[in-house]
């Protein structure tokens, strides 16, 4: 195959991928009413493949959507060592999108508070969330868009089961605990492998992740490896797991707060004589003989 033919094939494959991701994002937004007319959407940009892809697709959607909404890209510079501070401002200026860099040395705060060798995930996450929520409140942001994808959601469900003894994942849309911010995850239907291919083709200036080497990230990698093994052995398993999160049956679980097991006796229907007679008249095939 000639170089021109190879390029043509790759271009066609990318166009299919682009359409699929845009369709999935549009569907997720529609299914959960994520973005409404007049919204001011803050896209949290970390410099990773997911947030770059999210920003790119939302910018395209903004041009073609029947509603009007604003986009502002926001990055939290936590002053982690070796973080290349110039990359995001240069890229965001190039693509001509409004942006803001929040500079807050949460890295030093975490290092000071958390003893050496202990996990930093909890305090780091709270500080990061507080900074982003605060900016959103001060700047009339109506939606905070995060780059979590389908695989993130599934991994989080298993992390919570394995390490937290609860069935809990990442919802596509969430009201913050303080009731002041709404978080959306437009990539909720999108596979990580598709996002990786999209980011590679678009040549986004990726900033290396996992700078802190957190315990949560290590646990997530274990879960990720397990799930990838399942998917390799049984293609389509991850999609089935994700769909199960959309198809919950509380009466078939064991959480008393979701289903009233205590009063089932009050709902029980006592069979009538007619029903018993019908049951007695039923014909059953003979049992198969063993051996």
Cα 101 → chain centroid: 23
Q: What is the pLDDT of residue 281?
A: 63
Burial class (CB in 10 A: 0-12, 13-18, 19+), 245: middle
Report d(CA 22, CA 233) in Å as an integer. 28
Q: With the C-alpha atoms ordered 139, 40, 132, 212, is the resulting torsion angle positive or negative?
A: negative
Q: Are 88 and 234 in contact (CB under 8 A)?
A: no
Output the pTM of the full model.
0.86
Beta bridge partners of 58: none
Q: With the C-alpha atoms ordered 192, 131, 108, 86, is the resulting torsion angle positive or negative?
A: positive
Token pair 């097991």 is found at 261
The C-alpha angle 244, 248, 250, rounded to 5 degrees, equals 145
Q: With the C-alpha atoms ordered 247, 252, 255, 257, is the resulting torsion angle positive or negative?
A: positive
Tokens found for residue 266:
């009050």
Q: Are 223 and 158 in contact (CB under 8 A)?
A: yes
Report d(CA 201, CA 223) in Å as an integer. 27
- Report helix, strand or coil for 112: helix
Report d(CA 240, CA 93) in Å as an integer. 40
Per-residue pLDDT of the chain (291 residues), as tens digits, is 677 777 788 889 999 999 999 999 999 999 999 999 999 999 999 999 999 999 999 999 999 999 999 999 999 988 888 888 899 999 999 999 999 999 888 777 777 776 665 555 666 677 888 889 999 999 999 999 999 999 999 999 999 999 999 999 999 999 999 899 999 999 999 999 999 999 999 999 999 765 555 555 788 899 999 999 999 999 999 999 999 999 999 999 999 999 999 999 998 988 776 555 566 666 777 776 655
Q: Are 176 and 219 in contact (CB under 8 A)?
A: no
In the chain, where the domains are located:
3-212
Kindly report, residue by residue over 189-247, the tens digit of the pLDDT: 999 999 999 999 999 999 976 555 555 578 889 999 999 999 999 999 999 999 999 99
Token pair 């004589």 is found at 273
Regarding beta strands 70-77 and 40-44, do their DSSP bridges make them parallel or antiparallel, or are they unpaired?
A: parallel
Architecture of the domain made up of 3-212: 3-Layer(aba) Sandwich (3.40)
């Amino acid at each position: 195959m000639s170089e021109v033919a190879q390029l043509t094939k790759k271009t066609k494959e990318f166009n299919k991928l682009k359409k699929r991701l845009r369709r999935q994002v549009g569907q997720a937004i529609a299914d959960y009413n994520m973005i409404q007319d007049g919204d001011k959407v803050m896209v949290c940009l970390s410099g990773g493949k997911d947030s770059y892809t999210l920003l790119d697709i939302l910018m395209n959607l903004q041009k073609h959507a029947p509603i009007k909404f604003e986009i502002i890209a926001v990055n939290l510079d936590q002053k982690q060592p070796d973080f290349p501070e110039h990359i995001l401002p240069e890229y965001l200026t190039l693509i001509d999108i409004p942006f803001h860099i929040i500079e807050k040395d949460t890295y030093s705060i975490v290092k000071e508070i958390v003893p050496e060798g202990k996990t930093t995930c909890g305090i780091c996450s709270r500080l990061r969330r507080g900074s982003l929520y605060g900016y959103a409140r001060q700047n009339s942001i109506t939606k905070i868009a995060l780059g979590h994808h389908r695989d993130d959601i599934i991994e989080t469900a298993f992390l919570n089961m394995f390490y937290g003894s609860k069935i809990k994942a990442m919802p596509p849309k969430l009201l913050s605990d303080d009731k002041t911010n709404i978080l959306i995850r437009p990539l909720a239907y999108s596979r990580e492998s598709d996002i990786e291919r999209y980011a590679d083709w678009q040549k986004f200036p990726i900033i290396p992740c996992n700078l802190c080497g957190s315990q949560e990230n290590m646990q997530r990698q274990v879960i990720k490896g397990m799930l990838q093994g399942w998917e390799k052995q049984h293609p389509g398993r991850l999609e089935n797991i994700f769909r199960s999160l959309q198809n919950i049956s509380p009466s078939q679980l064991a959480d008393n707060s979701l289903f009233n097991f205590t009063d089932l006796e009050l709902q029980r229907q006592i069979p009538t004589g007619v029903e018993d007679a019908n049951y007695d008249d039923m014909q059953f095939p003979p049992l198969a003989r063993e051996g």
